[in-house]
Structure formats: structure tokens, C-alpha cells
Amino acid sequence: MGNRFLSAIRKRSFLTALLGGLLVLGALSGCDMSGHQSTIVTEGPVARHQLHLFYLTLGVSIFIFLTVGSVLAYAQIKFRSRKDQEGADDPPPQTHGHPLVEMGLIVISGLLLVIIAIPTVRGIWYTSDTPDRENALEIKVTGYQWWFKFEYPQLGFATANELVIPSDRPIHIELRTLDVIHSFWVPKLAGKVDLIPNRANHMWLQADHEGYYWGQCAEFCGESHANMKFRLVSLEPAEFQAWAERQAGDARSVSDQPVAATWEDLNPKIEFAAMTEDAPPGALSSLEGWRQAQVPTAAEDTALINRGRALFRDKTCLMCHEIKGHGAPGITGPTLTHFGSRTTLAAGLLDNTDENLAHWLRDPDSVKPGNIMYRDGYVINNIQLTEDDIQALVAYLHSLK
Ligand code: CUA
């Protein structure tokens, strides 16, 4: 009776394991390894280094799994109790073990740990030591619930939620937080590093070539943790330089600046390389889309924009948001000085289109639950916006290139 029960369990657990294995294989075969946040398709030296370490650890683990699994399977089949055997229901003879086998297993396990440990320690040194430090670009990242501030201390400006870097140059990053623990992660470029209250962490990364990358806060930080995203745009040095010069300046005012027709008009001296795209052409969330976002819209309604500018002041938006050159000094929310040149809004949640911005202004809490703009702005200051107000604010904010 006991035996039949045991063999039924064995048969069932074997079937379950087989089914589970098939499911995992099926799921893996459907995986897109080159997705926006892939750690398998790497595009920078730090991520590549970490991927090699992952493969080594995976290889050692698979070796252990196969070895132990086959010995176990062999022992189960070879030494199983047989019905026709005499004394099949009795426990097998008890022995102390085999000292040589036991010592051998300990030594082999120790060796396998050493094989993993040496590259791991070297990897820790490699990822924490910014190479060519004097030439590296310094970025100060500050986490807020729920967005990222990116400061460029050497260049004297800050931006939010979209980090633009030159390609093929080490980027030294200092990580801090103003509230709770966050984590900075651009999977294709480098592993995650936490932003811890009251201390600065450091990391470095580098992009092999120009590109448009997805980043994500990777540490639970409250209600909208999953909505705390960001983008990283990597540009050829000359294009980065042109971008940085514009960022260092004040926000654009529609009345005193002619509209540039194209991105090439803005940067006449830059030769554009063929674009590497992983988004449909024209989509905002791509390098091409990012370049389009740098250019002011040809058909601008100056009166509407100026009404939006007045509303930004009258509705007290300027208490929390900075717009350099427009008398908006706020520091608690993301800077909006060049907001119109970003491809995303609400911490990388939405493409920065007119419709999405209107939706965000109309009902921010439905886009990013718990967000501070709604709680400390809309609710506490009793901010009410009509549809006309929203259209004017959208026109104004998108004119800020
Ligand atoms: Cu910030 Cu999760």
C-alpha cells in the first residue's frame, strides 16, 4: 500500500517536472531577448562585463544541475526497490558514507565557488572604477517620488527624466535621493545601483554608439514605483555639444526667436550618421523622434502660447517648476526649461504629444497615481483648469525647446 502510494507520487512529480520544464522552455522560446530593457543585448562595456559574469555563473550552475541531477537519477533508477526483491519494504542497510567522495565533493564545490568569485570581485572593481576619470562626463542623478533629476555640474545645467550623454565616453554618475530609496537602471548599458538617503553612491557607464535607451527605477519606492521610468539618449560628441549648449541657455520665447525648420538647420555643422532604430520610424520614442522633438513646431500660435505662459504663472505652476528665463524658479518638481524638446513626459510614462500632455494636465493622478503635482499642487492649491487653459498650457510647454 505504502509503496504504491510512493510510486504514484513519484510518477506524478515526474510528470509535473516534465510539464514545468516544457512550459519554461516554451516561455523562453517566446522571449524577445532584444527588447528595450534587455540585459542580454548589451550596448556598453559595463553591461557587457556584467553579462559575461552572468553567463559564467549560469554555466557553472548548469554544470552543477546536470551533474547532481544525473547522479540522482542514476541512483534512483539503479537502486530502486523492486517488488520481487526479498525485504523490499524494509529500510536499506545504513552506512556512514564514503570519506573520499565527501572530501571530493567539498573540494569540487569550493573550486566552483572560486571560479565564480574571482571574476565577480574583478567585476566589482571594474564597475566601480570610472576609467579615464579626468575625461569622464560627470552626472548627478537625484531620485524623487517619482522622477529623476539629471544635473551636469561641469556644464552648469540640469534636466529631468531624459539623460543625454555623449557616446563612446565614460560617464561618471553620482546617485542621491531626496526621499526614499530608488534605483537607477539602464539595462542595456549597466546594472542597477541604488540611490540611498543621506549618502552618495557612484557608478559609471558608457554607450558604444548613439542610441535611444529605456531606463527604469528598480527599487520599490512607493505607489508609482513602476511608473518611474526615464530615457537615455546617447549622441555623437558634436551633436551632444550642440544639445548641451542649448540646454545651458534659457527657455525659448516664441516672440523673439525664429522657428527653425529642421534639426539640420539647428545644427548645420553636424554630419548625421545612419540612424540605428528599434522603434517605428517617426515614433517619438526613438533617436529620430528625439531629434524631431528638438525642433520647434512650424505652425505656432503665439497668442495661445503667451496665454499658456501667463497661466503657468497664475495657476502657481512656477512655484514647483523651473523655466529658466521665464521667471519660474520652482525646484520641487522637474525642470521644464526645455520641456518641449523631450520625447516623454511624466517620468517616461507617456510620449510627449499634445494629446498625452493634455491628458496629464487634465487628470495627472490617473496617469501616475499618488504623484506630488496632483497632491501638493492641484489639491492643496485648488488648481482648476478649463479645456481652454489646458490647450494654452500644452502650446506653451511644447514651445519650450
Ligand atoms: Cu523610484 Cu522605484
Give pLDDT tens digits for 352-396.
999 999 999 999 998 899 999 998 899 998 999 999 999 999 999
* d(C-alpha 326, C-alpha 318), whole Å: 9
- Ligand 1 mean position to 203 CA, how many Å? 18
Residue 315 in contact with residue 389, Cβ under 8 Å? yes
Distance 227 CA to ligand 1 centre (A): 8
Task: Using a pLDDT cut of 90, give the percent of the chain over it.
Answer: 70
Average pLDDT over residues 209-213: 94
Predicted local confidence at residue 7, as pLDDT: 60
Between the CA of 357 and the centroid of ligand 1 the distance, in Å, is 22
Q: Which residue in the block uniquely carries the three cell numbers 520544464? A: 21
Tell me: pLDDT of 108 over 80: yes
Instruction: Measure the CA–CA gap between 152 and 109, rounded to whole angstroms.
Output: 47
Measure 330 CA to ligand 1 centroid, in angstroms: 22
**Gyration radius of the chain's alpha carbons:** 29
**Contact of 172 with 139, CB cutoff 8 Å:** yes
- Residues sharing a CB contact under 8 Å with residue 84, sequence separation 6 or more, in sequence order: none
Beta carbons within 10 angstroms of residue 288's beta carbon: 18
Contact 337, 323 (CB under 8 A): yes
Which one-letter amino acid corresponds to residue 230? F
146 lines ligand 1 (CB under 6 A): yes
CA nearest neighbour of 227 among 356, 83, 369, 96:
369
Nearest atom (ligand 1) to Cα of 228: 1
State in Å: Cα 251 to ligand 1 middle. 29
In this predicted structure, the answer to whether residue 206 has a pLDDT above a threshold of 60 is yes
Any ligand 1 atom below 6 A from CB of 304: no
∠ CA 315-325-400 to the nearest 5 degrees?
70
> Which pLDDT does position 257 carry in this prediction?
55
Share of the chain above pLDDT 70, in %: 87
Question: Does any ligand 1 atom lie closer than 6 A to the CB of residue 143?
Answer: yes
Alpha-carbon distance of 51 to 39, in angstroms, equals: 7
Q: Is the CB of 333 under 6 A from ligand 1?
A: no
Please give the pLDDT value at position 328. 92
Residue of higher predicted confidence among 33 and 198: 198
Residue 20 has pLDDT above 60, yes or no: yes
Ligand 1 atom with the smallest distance to the CA of 220 is 2
Task: Find where cell 495657476 sits.
Answer: 315
Mean pLDDT along residues 329-333? 92
pLDDT for residue 93: 80
- Rounded to whole angstroms, the Cα distance separating 272 from 331 reads 36
CA distance 34 to 36: 7
Q: Residue 34 — pLDDT band, cuts 50, 70, 90?
A: confident
Backbone angles phi, psi at 227, to 5 degrees: -95, 10
pLDDT given for residue 14 in this prediction: 65
Work out the average pLDDT over 299-308: 90
Q: How far apart are CA 290 and CA 288, in angstroms?
A: 5
- Dist. CA 67–CA 85, nearest whole Å: 29
- The confidence score (pLDDT) of residue 50 equals 96
Nearest to 37, CA basis, from 163, 217, 280: 217
Helix (DSSP H) and strand (DSSP E) numbers for the chain:
11, 14
**Ligand 1 pocket check for 221: Cβ under 6 Å:** yes
Q: CB neighbours of 130 closer than 8 A, spacing ≥ 6?
A: 136, 170, 172, 202, 204
What's the whole-number mean pLDDT along residues 138-144? Answer: 97
- Summarised one tens digit per residue, pLDDT across range 169-194 is 999 999 999 999 999 999 999 999 99
pLDDT tens digits, one per residue of 238-287:
999 999 999 999 998 887 555 555 656 666 555 544 334 445 445 677 89
Lowest-confidence region among 41-45, 276-280, 345-349: 276-280
* pLDDT for 274: 39
What b-and-e string marks burial along 37-59, b requiring 16 or more CB atoms within 10 Å of the CB? ebbeebbbbbbbbbeebeebeee
Nearest CA to ligand 1 atom 1: 182
pLDDT tens by residue, 4-18: 655 655 666 666 677
Predicted pLDDT at 284: 76
CA distance 289 to 275: 11
Please state the rounded mean pLDDT for residues 73-99.
Answer: 82
Residue 227 confidence (pLDDT): 93
Looking at per-residue pLDDT, the higher value among 9 and 64 belongs to 64
pLDDT of residue 300: 85
Q: How far, in Å, from the CA of 64 to the mean position of ligand 1?
A: 36
Looking at residue 395, its pLDDT comes to 94
For residues 11 and 152, the model is more confident at 152
Half-sphere exposure of 24 (CA within 13 A, CB side): 6
Alpha carbon of 144 to ligand 1 centroid (Å):
8
Q: What interhelical angle do 302-314 and 387-399 show, nearest 10?
A: 100
Alpha carbon distances (Å) from 338 to 34, 49, 154: 31, 35, 19
Alpha carbon of 180 to ligand 1 centroid (Å): 8
**Residue 315 in contact with ligand 1 by CB distance below 6 A:** no
Is ligand 1 within 6 A of the CB of residue 219?
yes
CA of 184 from ligand 1 middle (Å) equals 8
pTM over 0.95: no
Average pLDDT over residues 115-119: 96
Distance of CA 230 from the midpoint of ligand 1 (Å): 11
Q: Which atom of ligand 1 is nearest to the CA of 146?
A: 1
The CA-CA-CA angle for residues 356, 361, 366, to 5°, reads: 80
Q: Is the pLDDT of residue 97 over 90?
A: no
Peptide bond into 290 cis (omega under 30): no
DSSP state of 222: S
Rounded to the nearest integer, the mean pLDDT of the chain is 88
Q: Is 348 in the pocket of ligand 1 (CB under 6 A)?
A: no
Q: How confident is the model at residue 28 (pLDDT cuts 50, 70, 90)?
A: low
Task: Identify the top-confidence range among 15-19, 69-73, 97-101, 285-289.
Answer: 69-73
Atom of ligand 1 nearest to the CA of 219: 2
